[in-house]
């Protein structure tokens, strides 16, 4: 139980123990969510979260002295940032430090999917090469990639596609003045004109099932879907049906709607490459993300400006 003479940071789950918890423990008691009670709630000044459990208005209402929610990750759909803003609570996330890592993984997943790298690996391991050559497969040549979401990571992905000589177009909520690529106001229209769709938009209610059966059908039987955003952005049932029926060529997925629970139907598909949400999973990048969580919490609790407040937290304050 925390020492009531010291302020506390509430942890909704393990948050980069060797970076976040080690540094914060020097100044604050670290309070696991399951230890929160009426007796401990008043000590909580900050929440450190990485999407394990929802930080909603009900939780924040129990914490009268809460100042900041530090989210470990760019996506913060498990934090009710609107409710936090109403309460004067700052919400921060960890943008930029993971852009390049996620963009690298996206191109790796695209290549693994279109060139069937996991399938070819199994072909060798199973001894089937001794019986004949691996069948010819699809290619990136002649394809146009459509990026759904042209934020920081989307732009990093676009730079990598340039190096591969692959044409790129995009759809986002609004046209980006600094992006010199064809813009589509309609996702469905873009899906009709491309053969690869890369999904890199935030999760949450506004984007739930944005990629639905109609969008998948528009991609067509030569189409490839790459999702490195949130599993909820794609209608998984529609995606499974499209992969099983061949109305979509293949999918490369780093995220799932109910992860770590993945529908078992995916496991039997040879036209799907499945990853366990590892877009930013390197020691280097996770340490940088953890440090940004720490720096934001310390700044706010020391009366300074947050480094990376989210859009729902207008800053500087009027």
Where in the sequence numbering do the catalytic residues fall?
230, 259, 277
State the Cα–Cα distance between residues 228 and 253, nearest whole angstrom.
7
Give per-residue burial for 177-201: e unless 16+ CB within 10 Å, then b.
eebebeebeebeebbbebbbbbbbb
End-to-end alpha carbon distance in the chain? 38
Residue with tokens 């010819």: 136
DSSP 249-311: -EEEES--TBTTB--GGGGG-TTEEE--S-TT-SHHHHHHHHHHHHHHHHHHHTT---SSB-T
- Residue 258's DSSP bridge partners are 261
* Calculated CA dihedral for residues 29, 30, 33, 37, nearest 10 degrees: -10
Instruction: Decide: 295 and 307 in contact? Cβ < 8 Å.
Output: yes
Instruction: Decide: 31 and 9 in contact? Cβ < 8 Å.
Output: yes
User: In sequence order, which residues have a C-beta less than 8 Å from that of residue 223 and are 6 or more positions away?
Assistant: 191, 194, 195, 196, 197, 216, 248, 249
Tokens of 81: 């940032």
State the Cα–Cα distance between residues 279 and 97, nearest whole angstrom.
12
State the Cα–Cα distance between residues 187 and 223, nearest whole angstrom.
15
Tokens of 280: 């930013």
Among candidates 300, 278, 230, 287, which has minimal Cα distance to 72?
Answer: 287
């Amino acid at each position: 139980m925390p020492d009531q003479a010291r302020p506390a940071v509430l942890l909704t789950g393990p948050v980069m123990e060797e970076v976040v918890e080690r540094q914060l423990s020097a100044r604050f008691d670290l309070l696991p969510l399951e230890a929160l009670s009426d007796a401990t709630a008043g000590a909580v000044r900050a929440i450190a979260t990485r999407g394990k459990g929802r930080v909603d208005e009900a939780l924040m209402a129990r914490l009268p002295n809460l100042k900041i929610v530090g989210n470990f990750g760019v996506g913060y759909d498990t934090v009710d940032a609107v409710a936090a803003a109403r309460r004067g609570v700052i919400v921060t996330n960890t943008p930029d430090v993971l852009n390049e890592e996620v963009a690298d993984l996206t191109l790796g997943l695209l290549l693994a999917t279109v060139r069937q790298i996991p399938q070819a690996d199994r072909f060798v391991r199973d001894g089937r090469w001794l019986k004949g050559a691996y069948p010819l497969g699809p290619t990136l040549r002649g394809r146009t990639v459509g990026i759904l979401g042209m934020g920081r990571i989307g732009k990093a992905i676009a730079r990598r596609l340039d190096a591969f000589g692959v044409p790129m177009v995009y759809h986002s909520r609004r046209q980006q003045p600094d992006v010199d690529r064809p813009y589509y106001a309609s996702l469905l229209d873009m899906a009709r004109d491309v053969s690869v769709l890369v999904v890199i938009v935030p999760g949450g209610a506004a984007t739930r099932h944005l990629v639905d059966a109609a969008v998948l059908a528009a991609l067509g039987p030569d189409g490839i879907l790459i999702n490195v955003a949130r599993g909820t952005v794609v209608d998984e049932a529609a995606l499974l049906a499209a992969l099983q029926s061949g109305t979509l060529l293949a999918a490369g997925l780093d995220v799932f709607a109910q992860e770590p629970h993945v529908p078992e139907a995916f496991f039997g598909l040879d036209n799907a490459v499945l990853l366990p949400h590892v877009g930013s999973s390197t020691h280097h990048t996770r340490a940088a993300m953890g440090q940004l969580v720490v720096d934001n919490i310390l700044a706010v609790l020391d009366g300074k400006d947050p480094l990376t407040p989210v859009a729902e937290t207008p800053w500087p304050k009027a």
